[in-house]
Amino acid sequence: MDQTEVIYNGACPICAREIAGYRRLSEAGGLPIRYTDLNAADLARLSLSAEDAARRLHVVQEGRLIAGFPAFLALWSSMPRMRWLARLLGLPGLRTVIGAAYERIAAPLLYALHRRRRNRALHKARPGG
């Protein structure tokens, strides 16, 4: 099995907590899954900007870059304890609804929180900020 690589935003507390759970499952099962924080990654090798990477989860599997809800399905499919979830949420009707909810609600919300945290940090780092 080729190694799966998960590109996630380690600066996002919600994202980091979720990925920590996946990492524990991966390590416990000896799964070939690598977790890469986008804030310390060479994203150019994937033709991916830091802003695009921060907007949604990305997974590299078999040389293909997968983004958004399909990335979750790819990740879950590669984890025996999560395959049931990938199968369930990958069903045509559910995949469409859950995928739309992720793309229209969850991903934009997480990205907005990321931008707010980043802007606050930049403001505090400025002299007089």
Tell me the pLDDT tens digit for each residue of 16-61: 999 999 999 999 999 999 999 999 999 999 999 999 999 999 999 9
pLDDT one-digit tens code per residue, 60-115: 999 999 999 999 999 999 999 999 999 999 999 999 999 999 999 999 999 999 99
Total domains, the chain: 1
Task: Enter the tokens of residue 42.
Answer: 């060479």
Neighbouring residues of 124: CB distance < 8 A, sequence distance ≥ 6: none
Measured torsion, CA atoms of residues 105, 122, 67, 4, in degrees rounded to the nearest 10: -130
CA–CA separation, 70 and 83 (whole Å): 13
CA–CA separation, 41 and 95 (whole Å): 29
- The separation between CA 40 and the C-alpha centre of its own chain, rounded to angstroms, equals 14
**Inter-residue contact 103 to 116 (CB < 8 Å):** no
Q: With a threshold of 0.85, does the pTM exceed it?
A: yes
Domain that holds residue 60: 4-125
